[in-house]
Amino acid sequence: MASRLHPSAKFAQMKIANGILSAAKAFDPKVFVDRIGAEGLIITCRKRCVMFSQGDACDSVFYIQQGRVKLTVVSPQGKEAVIGILGPTDFFGEGCLTGQPVRTSTASAITECSIMRVQQATMIRLLHEQPDFSEIFVSYLLSRNLRIEEDLTDQLFNSSELRLARALLLLTRFGREDEPVPIVPKISQQTLAEMIGTTRSRVSFFMNKFKRLGFIKYNHGLEVHSSLLNVVLHEPIHKSAEQKTYESRQASHKNVKRPQSERYWADPIS
């Protein structure tokens, strides 16, 4: 029997689900491209091409027409984390509009991309001269801000299973019912693990579980079905035998009492 969710956790699930369903509805990419026109530079990037690196000068805004882009950050200790996978109609690098002097992340292509680059001064001028364009862009930024809030809520309240389900739905740009949308490109389980803050082994466990239950399938790429939204909207499905075995082993491992000699070598100060 599924356990009851705390009201705050249930609210978190509903808020995140609503964010998935309403994503990418407020921004019209054609309007943006028409307004920029010849003032934007169209660049074609191959897979693994780096648009900018963490620490580079922040002097332009990028708009994705085709392809996928990965944003990563690296800590002073060298640990890397994926903070976003972006696709068509997404902006990145907009921090330059707030006076940000250097890039705080690295942007790299994970497929072949067609990207429009707009210089900082040009973007600022368009925002001042064209109020309707400014309204469109601000609307996009607000939706991005809501997405960041949902990401934080997801990390604070939800299990790794729910976080993975949400990430898969967002990667497919979910919005159409009863129609699986293939994830392009193929994203490694390690990248998914870095996105949701867990280990690759846990991602593998839940991916196998989703596949067994018919939520996803591999057919010339990964296809995610709309039924996966049930994992986000409701308490996670009943635990499988494999998951119960995994959790019982973890619990028994924690409760094992070590011999005195092992405790001494583990904690020589005591």
Residue 84's domain comprises 26-147
Same domain, 128 and 186: no
List pLDDT tens digits, range 12-37.
Answer: 555 555 554 444 444 566 666 666 76
Residue 47 lies in a domain: yes
pTM (predicted TM-score): 0.69
List pLDDT tens digits, range 156-180.
Answer: 888 999 999 999 988 887 754 445 5
151 or 240, greater pLDDT: 151
Same domain, 36 and 136: yes
Residue 257 lies in a domain: no
Residue 245 lies in a domain: yes
Same domain, 136 and 31: yes
Same domain, 173 and 228: yes
Same domain, 105 and 173: no
Same domain, 141 and 165: no
Buried b (16+ CB within 10 A) or exposed e, 25-49: eebebeebeeebeeebeeeebeeeb
| Least confident among 9-23, 47-61, 73-87, 138-152 | 9-23
**Rounded-to-integer distance, Cα 222 and Cα 124, Å:** 40
Same domain, 68 and 99: yes
Same domain, 32 and 78: yes
Same domain, 137 and 166: no
C-beta of residue 175 within 8 angstroms of C-beta of residue 17: no
Residue 266 lies in a domain: no
List pLDDT tens digits, range 188-215.
Answer: 899 899 889 899 999 999 999 999 999 9
The contacts of residue 244 (CB under 8 Å, 6+ apart) are none
Mean pLDDT of the chain: 77
Same domain, 88 and 196: no
Q: CATH number, domain at 205?
A: 1.10.10.10
Structural domain count, the chain: 2
Same domain, 185 and 100: no
Same domain, 115 and 185: no
